[in-house]
A and B are shown apart, each in its own frame.
Chain A
Amino acid sequence: MSDQTGKQMSKEEKDARFEAELLPVLDPLYNFAYRLTLDEDDANDLVQETYLKAYRFFDYFEQGTNAKAWLFRILKNSFINEFRKKSKQPAKVDYSEVEGYYNSEDVEGESGVATTTDMRTESVQDLIGDEVASALNALPVDFRTVIILCDLEGFTYEEMAKILDIPIGTVRSRLHRARNSLKEKLEKYARSMGYND
């Protein structure tokens, strides 16, 4: 009985430590999962699985070290092993984001809310965001991954190398090719909007 209580206590302590150290990473981890899978349900499953794996291996996690990089690495491995096959193809664009934008415009128009300068600016910002998301989603997953890790999550090249299990030189060259590809897609969009350079 006392053994059981001791075990129970240690599990409670472990759970508390786990939640305190790893759950604050939930928001960036979910965003990463969504940008990899391009699907809310798959992102949900992937994040849950990542936390369960992290829990199983939590004894190997050194307290106070980079929890975010550790979780991102586990999630990336889970994605490659189990989710990659069923995830959406890169060519598919996330039309729900664009759709949401136009629908919200309609609703605002019908309710008679005056469009202030601020709201206009916000709408343009949203539209740029939609275009960036579409261009990013159309990239191959390896390219998408390095751009998200670097530009959205602010990981260093060294952290990215650890998360992705590749040398820093490969991080650099992949990032270079990924950005060139993204630039090409966004320039095509800019030209279609009448910007020549």
Chain B
Amino acid sequence: MESKFTEAYEQSASESGHETNCEKIIKLLDAVVDGEASAEEQIFFNGHIEECVPCFESHQKQKLLKGLVSGHLKRRIVPDRLAFSIKAKIQETTV
């Protein structure tokens, strides 16, 4: 009963423009995984995910997603002739 009351309260608070802590955490996810959160934001974030399992899991997923791009996306190999061609064009250019 009590949790239902809290959920209902948080729902109405959210609709009236007051964010729940979980909504604030979702908005902070990117800044946290990118190392762009302020010290205050980071403290609030850490405190919340210690107690909230869904937000903890969202954070894990966001880290995984960033890791997939940074760690698994293959880099294209620069064609050998490109640097040579750029140098040649620059040397031809008169300024």
Q: Which residues of A contact B (CB under 8 A)?
A: 11, 14-15, 18-19, 23, 26-27, 30-31, 34, 40, 43-44, 47-48, 51-52, 55-56, 97, 125-126, 128-129, 132-133, 136, 147, 150-152, 154, 156-157, 172, 175-176, 179, 182-183, 186
- The contact of A23 among B65, B69, B70, B86, by CB within 8 Å, is B86
**Contact, CB under 8 Å: A44 / B90:** no
Report whether A179 and B78 are in contact in the complex, using a CB–CB cutoff of 8 Å.
no
Chief secondary structure at chain B's binding surface: helix
Residue of B nearest to A133 (CB): B73
Let me know if B43 is at the binding interface, CB within 8 A: no
Q: Which residue of A has the minimal Cβ distance to B75?
A: A31
Beyond A18-B90, A132-B73, A133-B73, is A26–B78 a contact (Cβ under 8 Å)? Answer: yes
Whether the pair A152, B34 counts as a contact (CB closer than 8 A) is no
Residue of A nearest to B95 (CB): A11
Complex partner residue of A51 from B27, B62, B90, CB under 8 angstroms:
B90
* Chain B residues within 8 Å of A186, by CB: 65, 68
From residue 71 to 87 of chain B, which have CB atoms closer than 8 A to chain A?
72-76, 78-79, 82-83, 85-87
Q: A150-B34, A156-B36 are in contact. Are A136 and B75 (CB under 8 A)?
A: no
**Chain B residues with Cβ under 8 A from A14's Cβ?**
95
Task: From A43, A47, A136, give the contact of B73 (CB < 8 A).
Answer: A136
Rounded to whole angstroms, the CA-CA distance of A182 and B41 in the bound complex is 25
Chain A, residue nearest B69 (CB): A151
* Chain A binding surface SS class: helix
Residues in B neighbouring A18, C-beta threshold 8 A: 90
**In contact, A133 and B74 (Cβ under 8 angstroms):** yes
**In the complex the two chains form, is A125's CB within 8 Å of B76's CB?**
no
Given contacts A14-B95, A132-B69, contact A34 B74 (CB under 8 A): no
Known: A11-B95, A30-B76, A56-B95. A128 touches B68 (CB 8 A): yes
CB-defined contacts of B95 to chain A, threshold 8 Å: 11, 14, 55-56
CB-defined contacts of B91 to chain A, threshold 8 Å = 15
Assuming the A-B contacts A132-B68, A151-B66, A176-B30, are A51 and B61 also in contact, with contact meaning beta carbons closer than 8 angstroms in the complex?
Answer: no
Whole-angstrom CA separation of A151 from B62 in the bound complex: 12
Residues of A within 8 A of B68 (CB): 128, 132, 186
B83 touches A26 (CB 8 A): yes
